[in-house]
Amino acid sequence: QVTRSIDNYQEKAKRIRALPRVTLAAPFTTHEVMLSADGQVGGTFLRGIDLSQPELLADLKRYFPDQDLKGLLTLESVPFNGNGERRAPRGIVLGESLARNILAYKNQQLLVNSPLGVLSPAGIIPNVRKFTMAGEFTTGMREYDQTLALVALDQAQAFFDMGDTVTGIEVKIDDADRAREVAQAIRDAIGPGYTTRDWMEMNRSLFEALKQEKVLMFIVLVLIILVAAFNIISTLVMMTMEKRADIAILKTMGARSRSIRRIFMFEGLLIGSIGTVLGAIGGLIFTWNIQAIAKGVGWLLGIELFSSEVYFISELPAEIRPSELASIVSIAVVVSFLATLYPAWKASRLDPVDALRYE
């Protein structure tokens, strides 16, 4: 996202689109406004989007699967009202939570009030304009569904008396992890006097919380693996005590201590490997069906597990990364192997005379 009041924005957007990895460069405006619907009032960010950008409309299509966003904002799909009067050619689309908060419904006339006001001979008067509620959208993130409204770019420019300028250019790239690299290329392309904000900067607090949570989850998983390792140790130690006579007989028949150690190490490694493989398969099945499982648990308990009123998201996203899965499986197998060393060493040092004395 490139931010600042920008003139000649079409030329700058064209330069940005020519950069490597850039798939979309769409100018926009954004302002804080007050919405009023039949006495119900709510604050929001009014965002003007460029309806001439087919890439932008295609990207937003997922939030309007059965509707034409361009038609909604230009009211091409909204008929005359019951009195035969033509509706105002200004459509507005609200986030689902925002529409619910102000009790707005489709085809309703909304008053949009800008706090900037308009200078007149009588002083500054409120800048108010009517828009027609054309539809709703749901992103799955309450932060956007409750604080965002969309209008056409030209309507926003006229409402805020911006002329032919915008407040920023939104940029989409093919690799989100290269955002900072592309941001530097954008600053070089459009010249000095402009700033850029990538998705990591805009959501810094969220990602810091996720980072800390990831560290804590890693510690919890390590503790679980250590508990499993202690179970392997205790199992092998008990087996050593039960098989004292068998170990003694093997030693009297010429088995070396090294062979006894290998037997117990192999057995412990086999137990750990089987448990790791079964756990990995179970984890993959759980991850693939996590949405259905979450809905089923919520239905059984009669609650909404991931309510958009509480969390940033309304669903629990899951991504399987083969490299991280392989690392976890490898760590579990290595810990299982290390857990066999002490019991195997203990079994190899068993004295056959003491073991057979009371048999």
What secondary structure letter does DSSP report for 87? P
Query: Which burial class, exposed, middle or buried, applies to 297 when counting CB atoms under 10 A from its CB (0-12, 13-18, 19+)?
Result: exposed
What is the C-alpha separation between 71 and 77, in angstroms, rounded?
6
- In order along its 359 residues, the chain shows pLDDT tens digits of 544 578 888 888 889 988 998 888 889 999 889 888 887 888 889 999 988 888 888 888 888 877 778 888 877 544 544 454 445 568 889 988 888 888 888 888 888 888 776 666 666 677 888 888 888 888 877 778 888 999 998 888 888 888 888 988 899 888 888 888 888 888 888 888 888 888 878 777 777 887 888 888 888 888 887 887 788 788 777 877 777 777 777 778 877 888 888 888 888 888 888 888 998 899 899 888 888 887 888 788 877 776 655 666 666 777 888 888 888 888 888 888 888 888 888 888 777 766 666 55
Tokens at 341, concatenated? 């060393």
> Cα(159)–Cα(232) distance, rounded to whole angstroms?
71
Burial class (CB in 10 A: 0-12, 13-18, 19+), 230: exposed
Q: Return the structure tokens found at 39.
A: 């006495």
Question: What phi and psi values does residue 148 have, to the nearest 5 degrees?
Answer: -140, 135
Do 22 and 170 contact (CB within 8 A), yes or no?
no
Residue of 352, 316, 326, 314 whose CA lies nearest to 97: 314
pLDDT of residue 316: 72
Question: What pLDDT score does 28 carry?
Answer: 92
Instruction: Check residue 1 and give its pLDDT.
Output: 53
Provide the pLDDT for residue 84: 47
pLDDT at 311: 63
